[in-house]
Amino acid sequence: MSEHLPGENLLGTYLRDRRSKLDPAALGFPPERRRTLGLRREEVAQRANISPTWYTWLEQGRGGAPSADVLDRIARALMLTAVEREHLFLLGLGRPPEVRYQENESVTPRLQRVLDALDPSPALIRTAIWNVIAWNRAATVMLGDYGALPPHQRNVLRNIFLDPRARAAQYDWESVARHVVGAFRVEAARAGAVAEVGPLVDELCRLSPEFRTMWRDNDVRDAHVGSVKHIRHPVLGPLAFEYSTFSVDGRTDLSMVVYNPATPADAAKILSHIGATPRREDTRSPLGAAETRAAGH
């Protein structure tokens, strides 16, 4: 993107820059001699199904602010990436585009290495509908052996409301459950995943009267506010964690939750227990699963 002068039409400059990067022949336009690189204005307008005059006005800074629909069409016409599309909306409307939720069931090796480097602090990555898709060894030992569960069952809400061991691990289960439901509601909406949570919500309303009541209360909570979590571990006894939630690479659909031991004594007990616990392939027995899943979310 070129440098801009004060008062310059940033939207117009950006549009010209983006269309100059496209190959007309690859997009089906005649490979005739052109005065400039890339697509012509009328070709962008054709691909976006908008008026060539209106598109020209946009590049010239005339005609007022475009609609979100027009910007969306132009973004597709110019084959913009998600980041480029967001920048287009910020220039054209002063706000990011409406979030589009994209289901994600895996993480990159880089992110997995980040999780692994956090041992002995339990850490996991969850989607906007709170499916757990990555975790480190400390999380397996202290919070739950997600690898021993079918992928569709690796969900924080399922664990809290349907697993009696998760309930037993909480000192104040109802308070924890209400916080989880309220934070889940906010994160799903923020990520544009309201429609995607429907099947999970319907199932939990059917299987858990408590979830049904809490969901209908319509409370909302902030999951990104750090706090202290107290649990009863079946082997180590009472433990306390300071937990924090972070967006992953600035995305609204992935969050990393890190549980730091609240005291040096807690950290020592956890580290000792992790070292004494067999790796996941040896913890698939009922005893191992019960021990590692009891801590809840």
Taking the C-alpha atoms of residue 126 and residue 116, their distance in angstroms, rounded to an integer, is 15
Residue where the block lists tokens 């979100």 = 68
Q: Are residues 122 and 253 in the same domain?
A: yes
pLDDT-flagged residues of the chain (< 50): 1-7, 281-297
Q: Are residues 246 and 141 in the same domain?
A: yes
Q: Are residues 144 and 222 in the same domain?
A: yes
Write out pLDDT tens, residues 244-273: 888 888 777 788 999 999 999 998 888 888
The helix (H) or strand (E) run that includes residue 268 is helix 264-276
CA-based nearest residue to 156, from 121, 132, 192, 189: 132
Amino acid sitting at position 153: Q
Contact assessment for residue 138 and residue 260, using Cβ atoms and an 8 Å cutoff: no
**Computed over its alpha carbons, how large is the radius of gyration of the chain?**
25
The helix (H) or strand (E) run that includes residue 237 is strand 237-247
Write out pLDDT tens, residues 132-185: 999 998 998 888 888 888 888 899 999 999 999 889 999 899 999 999 999 999
The helix (H) or strand (E) run that includes residue 258 is strand 254-261
- How, if at all, do strands 123-127 and 227-233 pair? unpaired
Last residue within a domain, chosen from 93, 128, 149? 93
Instruction: Please state the domain count of the chain.
Output: 2
In a domain, 156, yes or no: yes
Q: 181: domain range? A: 109-293
pTM of the model: 0.67
Q: Are residues 126 and 250 in the same domain?
A: yes
